[in-house]
Structures are given as structure tokens and as C-alpha cells.
Amino acid sequence: VLSRSLAVQTPQSRNTDAKHSTGARVASNYKIIDHEYDAVVVGAGGAGLRAAYGLSTAGFKTAVISKLFPTRSHTVAAQ
């Protein structure tokens, strides 16, 4: 099994301006849960779901992110 590792560092604070400091308010209203994945597929159209299926069957812990419900994609419209 081929495995890759990617570490992404995010800045602790981008804006200290009052109009951009909504992070504390959001954090207090919602429980934040961290997840770890080997692969993240953006888009749940035909190609995205096929990529996610292939990755997961190869043993990768995979997440799919989509703005639409998976069966509501534009894959059929593109044909």
C-alpha cells in the first residue's frame, strides 16, 4: 500500500481586527471536532465519488466534501 504524509500548519491568528474576530464566538456556539484523513476529495460528482471509492478500497481513510448532496451533482447534466 502506497502511503503519503502531508502536514499542514495553520496560523494561530490571521486577523486581530475586531470585525474579523468571530472565531471565539463560533467556537463557543459549536463543538469543534478534529478529524484526520489520508485523503480528502473535494466534490461528490461522479469523478469525486469514484476517486473516493478507489482511495477507500486501497485502504486510505477518505473524506468527501461537497456543497451538494452526492446524488444532486451536475454529472448527468454534463453528459
Q: Which sequence spans correspond to the domains of the chain?
A: 33-78
Give the whole-angstrom CA distance, residue 15 versus residue 11: 10
Give the whole-angstrom CA distance, residue 15 versus residue 8: 19
Say if CB 62 and CB 52 are below 8 A apart: yes
Cell numbers at 33, concatenated: 471536532
> Phi/psi class of residue 78: alpha, beta or left (left: φ > 0; alpha: ψ in -120 to 50)?
alpha
Q: Tell whether pTM > 0.75.
A: no
Beta strand ranges found along the chain (DSSP E): 39-42, 62-65
Q: What is the pLDDT of residues 6-53, one digit of tens each?
A: 566 655 555 555 555 555 565 577 888 999 999 999 988 888 989 999
Q: What is the pLDDT of residues 48-75, one digit of tens each?
A: 989 999 999 999 999 999 887 766 767 7
